[in-house]
Structure 1
Amino acid sequence: MALTPLSWCVGAALALVCGSSWPKMHSALAPENEVPLRPTTWLPEGKITSVTLPKGKTRRLYFTLKKASAMSVTISPCDLPIEWSLAARTLKDKPLKSLHWTTKKSMPEVWWRGPGTEEKIHSFTGDAVNTFSGPSHPRTSIYILRLRSKQQSTRATVYLHEGPGPSGTFPLLPADSNVHTLGVGMTSVTLSWAPSPSTTSLHNAENSYNYCVLVNSLQNYPSLCAAKVSMRKEKDQKQDKKERRVTVWPILKEWWWQQWDTYPEDQSPSASLEDEYDDLQCVCDGTDSVCTVSELLPDTQYYFDVFVIDRLNGTNAAYKGTFARTHEEARPAITSLREGELRWVTFGDLRSNSEQFFSFRPRGWQQSGLLTLQSCGGGDKVKVTVSSKGQVLTSQGVGGDLVHIWLQGSPSYLIHLEREGSTTGQISSVKDQALPGALMASVKMQISSAYHRRGVPSLPSTLQIKSFNRLRGCSSVTLAWMGTEERSLYCVYRRKLEKLEAEGVSTLTAPCLGPESRSDTERVLCKYFQELNPRRAVTTAVIGGLEPGRAYVFDVYLMRRWGIPIKYASKMVKTRKEC
């Protein structure tokens, strides 16, 4: 028969009246089939427990002591600061054994609802590993551990140890836990730190412990967990880049992240880590606490962290890291070139002075210039590289022929001359004594701002000098050479040869020696010439005042306001003995 609303209310009232005769403890407890309102988690003793901390939510862990006189609780945040506190709760009246639920996990819920007092024992806020050690509370029924992250979701590990003294699960740090810098180079840094007491007190320390050095260009990390999280973030942000800003030394593989998890009982942590140290580039084994980190970039700031690793327990402890900036590369001396300056660039032996640097700032708003080079002497190859604002504009070899390089559009230029080595089978026809300082390699160089045209100047179609036999006399000869369509100055020099020179010894003048190397007494004439038609650009000169029956070497130089003077091929002519 269905119950009427009136009969239902009467039944409820009778139930309340009859319930008043139950024990007070019964009224405060839930029936066996009720689901606890607050999730409860027991904290096991002697086991590393990983805890996920959602943002802004408090996680609670409960534990009781089994007649232990002392305890210690170690909290290891991962990558963010957290708040945690430890409290001891004492119940006024303990629950009856008959009311304890069958699962041990639900027992804290039973105690939590009972009347009692709570005392805060310890609290800490930060991202460093923190340990509370102290005696147990005799009247405490249950301990409550609260953890919270305000910034964002993160992880932490919790370890409970019952009994006095250290647990031996975590490596110990020395009194001076700072990492010190012994030496800093251009691509390497040498570090040192005080040995961990764990490595010096145990007989098997060399087999159980290792030091791990981590180097990166971002920051110091309080734990390996924080370093791993940072590496993963960098990898997600720069998936398309081959190089990452965080570099781990030694290489931190997946086991560094998994070490916080519990290993199965049938698997030893050391067994899975046995082969991880084979490929490490920098490992300080055992008590060796000095390490040199190499293959770094010059003039770069790096952060160094050192961790002592307990391979048997899969735990670690972090030293206080340091940072250092590597030395910058030795900057080569850069010589500033003046407008229109003619400069000889000489190189010594192959082991030194193999490259030189010059800078030039062109005049005028057009920011243009003409660079002229010519290699002199020896069989060494010389290469010129011109760059501006870190970008290479041109790079080419420099030989006996003139090299013209037109520059435009930059306020400054960097000129790099480099000797590349000797040319096989190439022997200079010019004696070394003709070169300044008798060095093995030399380059003649000039750079000038160009205002009148865009591009390199025109060159003669040939650099050969022609003499006319019919116009050759006892005291004069007639010479002819090709000019250009530009108005330029041509100067003729002569040199009287001795008898032995005229009979076969080399009489040619070094191609790279210009008018500046000649005596004024050797100059016989200078003339301007210009012909718009290149095919008809031929000029002649009659050289008089010569001795009968003597041999002379004639040289013609094309003189310009910019660039190196162009030397024509030397021409030997012998005057007639009788006329």
Structure 2
Amino acid sequence: ENLLCSMTEFLNAFSPFSIHILRCCFILEEDRAPAPFTVTVTPCDVPIEWSILLYKTSTNFLGKAAPGDDDTHEVTKSQKIPKLVSMIFNYKGNSVETFVGMSSYSSLYMLEFLSIERDTHITVYLATDTASEHLYPELPIDPRIDVISIGHATVVLAWKHSPSVLQHKENIQYCLLINEKHNYKSLCAAETAIRSPHAKSPPALALSFSPYLVDHQQVMILSNSELSIINKVNSGEVRQICMGTKNIYTVTNLRPSIQYYFDVFVVNILTNASAAYTGTFARTLEEPKPKVIELKDGKVIHLILDVKKQKFYSLQYQARHKKIQFTFQSCSGQVWVQIARNGKVVASENIADFRQFSLKGKLLDMYLVQLRSTERTNSSVKVQVSSHFHKPLFPLLPESLKIKSFSKLRTCSSVTIAWLGTQEQSKYCVYKKMIKEDQVWMEVRNTDRCSGPKSRDKSEKLLCKYFYDINLRRAVTTQTIKGLEAGTLYLFDVYLTGPSGIPVRYHSKVVKTRKKC
């Protein structure tokens, strides 16, 4: 049915601001038998007051035009003025409300809408064919959202199916809204709150398949039947997820110890009409505080950084001397290290092999070390703190732990490699291993850089040698390995062992002998 609407403005005696009243009228068809009709109103922002007035008229007044007037909907002064007026419905609030009534002959209906707080907008739908129309999806008898489980970064939600999903599955979908502020009673209210104040209203609802997105929105297609939109608003991040007809969903990537509000809307994707389930909220669990490990002077500890168990690992040390040295040896993967002294960060770095930090402070300074794997998989690291600089546990290391090979000195049966040494007399042992083309990445990736020569098969050992040089520019040695097979890949490793007996492994080097000579 068509609605005739007009805006009336008057001055509120108790406020300097003017108030707007929107009036809409409709006349049901004259030849219709008495039948039910519905009026559904959705406030999209602030609470409103709305009413339905019934004007009893004579049979001559049914919204027809005066003689000579082509517009059949315009009410003119020549028409008969209604005689009897009665209010048949009135509501104040911000919930979606539907009035169901029976049409009658010779009646004019007037809808009045009043918003006192501020300018707002609403949606109004009038239906006379209530038997066949399915514009607004139905809610189940119990429209609550159940919180199944809560984690540190996840919440599992479930809700009962809408009867509309069971009857019109191809046209209905569920959309979930997550925010940190409050619940919303309608999809229209949620979109109004989310939309940027400078953005124009899109012609379709953002929670359904609207292509009209604004600058503060990011869209992610999660699967063929799942659409996610992230909105950046003043109150924080608002996430919208439309997941088809699934009625159980695991919300991921939440932050620990935050209260989130969840709203589920069942949406008719053909018309954008929707119905809201009763919203719920849940607070994610607090992230467990990592256990603080006490470091002892001179003692080496070996940590496995399990990314699934916890994000950060914490180590604590109280200085017994003014000068101390932290040593980190990454055994596998890359490790993020942060050192704080008395709460102030003094060092922060990603470590892929070996790193030492020499720090100077005061007696009894408290040091806190935080470690985190930068990989998706577990990493491992050895850590030592020492104030005895004259008795280092780890050997003196060269500027680089890389092994170099010389292409010009490569033959079908031999290769020549070189590596840097130090100013300290140390032992260097060379190992080789024959590998295949498809094993290169795994061999290099899964190398345990903290494992010593004892972990290698005796057949892989080639030789051990001692050398050093006071002049670091000359502290380099070369080694030619003979007796190799032509066109074959070899993995070479060098182990440096200092006076303390702790070995340090150079970066593995893969070299292929020439196929033809």
Shift of 1:135: 2.0
Residue in structure 2 matched with residue 443 of structure 1 by the alignment: 384
Q: Shift in Å at residue 399 of structure 1?
A: 9.9
User: Structure 1: which amino acid aligns with 2:227?
Assistant: L
| Superposed displacement of residue 328, structure 1 | 3.1
Alpha-carbon offset, residue 124 of structure 1: 0.8
In the aligned structure 2, how far is the partner of 1:65 from the partner of 1:297? 54
**CA apart distance, 1:283:** 4.5
CA distance in 1, matches of 2:319, 2:299: 20
Inter-CA distance 185–123: structure 2 relative to 1 (3 Å threshold): same
Q: Does the alignment pair 1:185 with 2:139?
A: no
Matched, 1:358 2:315: yes
- Give the aligned residue type for 2:175: C
Indicate the residue corresponding to 1:394 in structure 2.
Answer: 347
Q: Which amino acid aligns with 2:384?
A: V
- Residues in 2 aligned to 1:168 and 1:378: alpha-carbon distance in whole angstroms: 64
Aligned equivalent of 1:122: 89
1:292 matched to 2:245? The reply is: no
Residue equivalent to 2:463: none
Correspondence for 1:405: 359
Q: Does 1:211 align with 2:168?
A: no
Letter in structure 2 aligned against 1:405: L
Distance 2:330 2:244 in 1: 58
1:184 offset after TM fit, Å?
1.7
Structure 2 CA distance for partners of 1:420 and 1:187, relative to 1, 3 Å? closer
- The aligned residue for residue 135 of structure 1 is 102
* Alignment partner, residue 107 of structure 1: 75
| Greater C-alpha Rg | 1
The C-alpha deviation readout for 1:180-200, integer Å capped at 9, x for no partner, is 111222222211111111122
SS of residue in 1 equivalent to 2:264: strand
2:13 alignment partner in structure 1: none
Identity, % of aligned pairs? 27
The change in CA–CA distance for 1:84 and 1:326 in structure 2 (over 3 A counts) is same
Which amino acid in 1 is paired with 2:265?
F
Q: Secondary structure at the match of 2:196?
A: helix
Q: Where do residues 193-204 of structure 1 align in structure 2 (5 Å cutoff)? A: 193-200=159-166, 202=167
Does the residue aligned with 2:286 lie in a helix, a strand or coil? coil
* 2:280 matches 1:322: yes
Question: C-alpha distance in 1, partners of 2:317/2:346?
Answer: 14
Is the 2:226–2:243 Cα contact (8 Å) retained in structure 1? no
Deviation at 1:380? 11
Render the CA deviation track for 1:247-291: whole Å, top value 9, x for unaligned. Answer: x9978644699xxxxxxxxxxxxxxxxxx96662565433x3111
Contact 1:71 1:135 in 2 (8 A): yes
Q: 1:69 to 1:223 in 2, by over 3 A?
A: same
SS in 2 for 1:105: coil
Alignment check: 8 A CA contact 1:384 1:417 kept: yes
Deviation, structure 1 residue 79? 1.9
Q: CA deviation at 1:119?
A: 0.4
Paired with 1:99 and 1:141, the residues of 2 have a C-alpha distance of 18
Is residue 2:325 matched to residue 1:372? yes
CA contact (8 A) 1:70 1:135 kept: yes
Work out the CA distance in 1 between the residues paired with 2:102 and 2:345. Answer: 72
Aligned letter for 2:173? Answer: N
What is aligned with 1:228? 191
Q: 2:110 matched to 1:144?
A: yes
Quick one: distance in 2 between partners of 1:407 and 1:193? Answer: 59
Pick the structure with more strand per residue: 2
Q: Distance in 2 between matches of 1:178 and 1:328?
A: 26
Local SS of the residue matching 1:63: strand
Q: Relative to structure 1, is the Cα distance of residues 59 and 293 closer, same or farther in structure 2, using a 3 angstrom cutoff?
A: same
| Residue type at the aligned position of 2:244 | D
* 1:361–1:219 Cα change, 3 Å: farther
Alignment check: 8 A CA contact 1:374 1:398 kept: no
Other structure's SS at 1:56 match: strand
Q: Secondary structure at the match of 2:123?
A: strand
Aligned-partner SS, 1:190? strand
Amino acid at match of 2:23: R
Which residue does the alignment assign to 1:63? 26
Contact 1:62 1:108 survives alignment (8 Å): no
Query: How does the TM-score come out when normalised to structure 2?
Result: 0.55
Shift in alpha-carbon separation, 1:321–1:335, aligned structure 2, 3 A? same
Structure 1 residues 277 and 314 mapped into 2: Cα distance closer, same or farther (>3 Å)?
A: farther
Partner AA of 1:106 in structure 2: E
Q: Answer yes or no: is the 8 Å Cα contact 2:226–2:242 preserved in 1.
A: no
Q: Give the CA deviation at 1:223.
A: 2.3
- With over 3 angstroms needed to count, the CA separation of the structure-2 counterparts of 1:311 and 1:417, relative to structure 1, is closer
Distance in 2 separating the partners of 1:446 and 1:249: 62
Whole-angstrom distance in 2 between the partners of 1:315 and 1:162: 17
Corresponding residue SS for 1:405: strand
Aligned position for 1:313: 271
Deviation at 1:569, TM superposition (A): 7.2
Question: What per-residue deviation string (whole Å, max 9, x for no partner) do you get for residues 493-517 of structure 1?
Answer: xxxxxxxxxxxxx9xxxxxxxxxxx
SS in structure 2 opposite 1:218? coil
Distance 2:336 2:129 in 1: 76
- Alignment-mate amino acid for residue 404 of structure 1: S
Kept in 2, the 8 Å contact 1:384–1:395? The answer is: yes
Contact 1:51 1:158 in 2 (8 A): no
C-alpha displacement of 1:442: 5.6
Question: How far is the alpha carbon of 1:225 from its aligned partner?
Answer: 2.3
User: Is the Cα–Cα contact under 8 Å of residues 326 and 383 in structure 2 kept in the other structure?
Assistant: no
Residue matched to 2:302: 347
How big is the shift at 1:407?
Answer: 4.3
Q: How far apart in 1 are the matches of 2:499 and 2:271?
A: 85
Give a deviation string over 1:41-95, Cα, whole Å, max 9, x none. xx617xxx99999872111111112233322111111122111000101247956
Change (3 A) 1:189 1:105: same
**What is the rounded CA distance, in whole Å, between the counterparts of 2:2 and 2:330 in structure 1?**
85
Give 1:480-519 correspondences, 5 Å limit: none
Q: Distance in 2 between matches of 1:411 and 1:110?
A: 95
One-letter amino acid matched to 2:26: F
- Quick check: 207-216 or 372-381, which moved more? 372-381
Task: Go from structure 1 to structure 2 and tell me whether the alpha carbon gap of 1:399 and 1:333 turns closer, same or farther (over 3 Å shift).
Answer: same
SS of the equivalent of 1:74 reads strand
- Is 1:280 the equivalent of 2:240? no
Change (3 A) 1:387 1:398: farther
Q: How many residues align?
A: 350
TM-score relative to the length of structure 1:
0.50
Q: Does the aligned pair in 1 maintain the 2:7–2:23 contact within 8 Å?
A: no
Of 127, 151, 163 in structure 2, the residue corresponding to residue 161 of structure 1 is: 127
Provide structure 1 residue ranges, at least 5 long, that are not aligned to the other structure. 1-42, 237-247, 258-275, 422-438, 448-456, 461-505, 507-567, 571-579
